Amino acid sequence: MASRTDFGPPNYKEMLPPVIEKNYGQWLYHERVKPGVLKHVAESGDELYTVRVGSSRLVSTDWIRDVCAIADEFCGGHLRFTSRHNLEFLVSDPAKVEPLIAHLKANGFAVGGTGHAISNPVHTQGWIHCHTPATDASGIVKAVMDDLYEYFVDMKLPAYCRISLACCLNMCGAVHCSDVAILGIHRKPPHINHDIVRAKCEIPNVIAACPTGAIRPDPKNKTLTVNEEKCMYCGNCYTMCPGMPVADPVGDGVSIWVGGKISSARTPPKFSRLVIPFLPNNPPRWPEVTDAVRNIVETWASHAHKHERMGEWIDRIGWERFFTLANIPFSVQLIDDFTLASDTYRSTPTFKW
């Protein structure tokens, strides 16, 4: 018998708690009651409390069964996840909010991630399950969030702060528009295995995949060559061709980007900008990365105005001031030389020292 196909995901309407079914599209306002707790009030006067907890994103079925049991006890069996891997318990009985929070805290859940906090970092697979990573993902996120935990469980920052991590330039996550982005990078050109290239790769597709035109055909030997001076190690050729691995224990590591945002509130969405071109892979806790991220977050937190996102603060003070305040050395890698690079060069003699 042929399998059933193309029937689509479960209908969300069957997943909604009764208070949402009743008040769908009729919400009036919300309050941030305290860290990790939102209260939404509908035009009908009905209230819905949301208790948000962080998750490790990589979770076992045991964990899912655990949180289902909690949802059964406190939320009539209803829960949801957010776009940043948080878990939300949806509570319609106000009397159950505090017992739920107490239960969660007693069982080691991280309640928080609302308002002017660091929410759960969006991140990728890393060494756990990806074939192109330049670093691990879950390990760095765990180390960074252990270090910055106080900013997840409180709302003491000037504004939202979104940290994201991608383990290579593919960026399976919106890291390129984050307040702080942690990005795995390679620093060595691909190491070509010509036998594999000949056996397994569509050479024109590999050439087309190179953003800098560094790859040329070598028809005589039915393979290709890489102009190493033009290669900036993006790894896209390896995605197309297993004969061109770029990963390397010494070459690989982490870069730090800051000042991006996604929301259009006040200012349009912005890209994050490179501020630290390389930090080493130093598992299991990547201390150079956790120190760098804490320094950037706290420099921003101690200087920004209320509601001012990282990038908005830097736009106000200027990048040259950011580098002095954060005490981050400036290097030539931070000056763009890809397409549209000159858009980022300064054309006025007005700047700060």
In the complex with another protein, the residue whose CB is nearer, 211 or 277, is 211
Phi-psi region of 333 (alpha: psi -120 to 50; beta: other; left: phi over 0): alpha
d(CA 8, CA 313): 44
Contact flag: residue 208 with another protein (CB under 8 A): yes
In the complex with another protein, the residue whose CB is nearer, 58 or 155, is 58
Contact flag: residue 330 with another protein (CB under 8 A): no
Instruction: Give every CB contact of residue 238 below 8 A, 6+ residues apart in sequence.
Output: 132, 190, 244, 245, 246
Contact flag: residue 271 with another protein (CB under 8 A): yes
In the complex with another protein, the residue whose CB is nearer, 15 or 102, is 15
Task: Tell which one of 45, 95, 106, 108 touches another protein (CB under 8 A).
Answer: 108
Q: One symbol per residue from 120 to 139: x for binding another protein (CB under 8 A), - otherwise; what is it?
A: --xxxxxxxxxxxx--x-xx
DSSP label at residue 304: P
d(CA 351, CA 137): 37
Q: Where does this chain touch another protein (CB under 8 A) — which range of 169-177, 291-299, 320-328, 345-353?
A: 169-177
Which residues ranging from 5 to 44 are in contact with another protein (CB under 8 A)?
Answer: 5-12, 14-16, 20, 24-25, 27-31, 40
d(CA 133, CA 186): 9
Q: How far is the CB of 251 from another protein (least distance, A)?
A: 10
Q: How far is the CB of 74 from another protein (least distance, A)?
A: 11
Cβ-based burial of 167 (10 A; exposed 0-12, middle 13-18, buried ≥19): buried
Task: Tell which one of 18, 63, 228, 344 touches another protein (CB under 8 A).
Answer: 63
Q: One symbol per residue from 178 to 207: x for binding another protein (CB under 8 A), - otherwise; what is it?
A: ---------------------------x--
Neighbours of 29 (CB within 10 A): 9
d(CA 206, CA 2): 37
Helices 138-147 and 287-303: angle between axes, nearest 10 degrees: 50
Q: Where does this chain touch another protein (CB under 8 A) — which range of 93-101, 223-231, 236-244, 320-328?
A: 236-244
